Amino acid sequence: MDRSNQPFEVERLGRMAYADALSLQRERHAALVEGRGQGVPHRVLLVEHPPVVTVTRRQGAREHVLADEALLRTSGVELVDTDRGGDVTYHGPGQAIVYPIVDLQRLGLGVHAYIRALEEAAIRTCAAWGIPCHRQKGATGVWTGNEGDADDATRKIAAIGVRVSRSCTLHGMALNVEPQLGHFGLIVPCGLHGRVVTSMRAEIGDACPSFGEASERLAVETVSALRAASAAVARS
């Protein structure tokens, strides 16, 4: 099966409430599952959210929300439950988010390879503006700093949380372009104590691209990384 040129479409949603984006993901997911075998395109939803903390069903995840309801309210941050994997995370303006709604069965990818492809997309996006990034063993996501440094000397720049149902994906990855980093102090990001969260703006200052440039690059790199991962499986 030739997987090298499967159709992808990028949907640019602008700024959208988390609940509305999740509803749209579920619609696109249902269409992809129902259209399996009919050439329905994979989709990458590109979105930015108003300030929101999302909490998964993982045991102990809610304990990683450090702020009480009053502080969240005065900070202008919504608190919502979510059905993705992972733990607690924050989304907000200045954070580029991709929600790939893709058929792993058609792409020939397992969940592990899929997540590695998302990480690769963020690594390539950051590299385009001279920010060296890497993966860390046992900690899904993308980190900057020297790869050989101790864990507390590296900084997280992109977070990943996914769900797979009927071999098709929901949720995805958030890359910190220029969000309000102080909001990450309201939680224990991804349940990882003592780890620093950073952004492209914090790393390179005025050399940081515009939010629109970084978002578009992330969407392009996401499609490219998924196609490359699929093609690699086909060759193996």
pLDDT digits (tens, 9 = 90+) for 139-196: 899 999 876 665 556 899 999 999 999 999 999 999 999 999 999 999 988 767 777 8
Identify whether 154 is part of a domain.
Answer: yes
Identify whether 65 is part of a domain.
Answer: yes
User: In a 10 Å sphere around its CB, with 0-12 CB exposed, 13-18 middle and 19+ buried, how is residue 97 labelled?
Assistant: buried
pLDDT given at position 14: 98
pLDDT given at position 219: 98
In sequence order, the 6+-apart residues with CB closer than 8 A to the CB of 59 are none
Residue 186, SS3 per DSSP? helix
Domain residues for the domain of 124 are 11-235
Most confident of 63-77, 116-130, 189-203: 116-130
pLDDT given at position 106: 94
Identify whether 1 is part of a domain.
Answer: no
Could you give the C-alpha distances from 3 to 129, 149, 167, 174, in angstroms and in order? 30, 38, 16, 26
Identify whether 172 is part of a domain.
Answer: yes
In sequence order, the 6+-apart residues with CB closer than 8 A to the CB of 112 are none
Identify whether 57 is part of a domain.
Answer: yes
Q: The tokens 């050989």 sit on which residue?
A: 148
Where does the pLDDT of residue 17 fall: very low under 50, low under 70, confident under 90, or very high at 90 and above? very high
User: In a 10 Å sphere around its CB, with 0-12 CB exposed, 13-18 middle and 19+ buried, how is residue 202 labelled?
Assistant: middle
Determine the Cα–Cα distance for residues 48 and 210; give it in Å rounded to an integer: 14
Total number of domains in the chain:
1
In sequence order, the 6+-apart residues with CB closer than 8 A to the CB of 45 are 11, 13, 21, 24, 25, 28, 98, 99, 100, 101, 172
Supply the CATH number for residue 72's domain: 3.30.930.10
Q: Which pTM value belongs to this model?
A: 0.94
pLDDT given at position 177: 98
Q: What integer best gives the mean pLDDT of the chain?
A: 92
pLDDT given at position 1: 52
Catalytic residues, which ones? 190
Mean pLDDT over 5-33 rounds to 96
pLDDT given at position 136: 87
Identify whether 133 is part of a domain.
Answer: yes
pLDDT given at position 39: 85
Identify whether 198 is part of a domain.
Answer: yes
Identify whether 63 is part of a domain.
Answer: yes
Determine the Cα–Cα distance for residues 45 and 214; give it in Å rounded to an integer: 15
The continuous run of DSSP H or E covering 226 comes out as helix 211-235
Determine the Cα–Cα distance for residues 190 and 193; give it in Å rounded to an integer: 9
